[in-house]
Amino acid sequence: MEIKQINRETKGFFKAIISEKEAGRMTYSWAGTDKFIIDHTAVDPEFKGQQVGKHLVMAAVSFAREKGVRIIPLCPFAKRVFDTTAEIKDVL
């Protein structure tokens, strides 16, 4: 699985690619310069059960740590990942 990020001035997204197909996408919006809001995560039904969504959230966590910014997980899926994964709460 390959994760690609497109980051724009006010919005961006991470997408997961498997076998040259887009398996999932997680969108976010910047809230100032020091935090971003994960607002939606979607996974193509063909790739369900392969932890595509979790990989997308973990890519966002890595990005936040690298840039020294925080994440606000408004997306229910992303919030659930944060609620159940203690080692990533440092970016909340």
Q: What are the residues facing 16 on neighbouring strands?
A: 3, 24
pLDDT at 89: 96
Tokens representing 40?
């939606």
Domain carrying residue 26: 2-91
Report the DSSP pairing between strands 11-18 and 70-73: unpaired
69 three-state secondary structure: coil
User: Any idea what the CATH number is for the domain that residue 76 is in?
Assistant: 3.40.630.30
10-residue mean pLDDT profile of the chain (92 residues): values are 96 98 98 97 97 98 98 98 97 98
Q: Give 79's contacts (C-beta < 8 A, 6+ positions apart).
A: 73
pLDDT at 18: 98
pLDDT at 24: 98
pLDDT at 54: 97
pLDDT at 62: 98
Number of structural domains, the chain? 1
pLDDT at 33: 93
Q: Give 39's contacts (C-beta < 8 A, 6+ positions apart).
A: 27, 28, 29, 74, 75
pLDDT at 12: 98
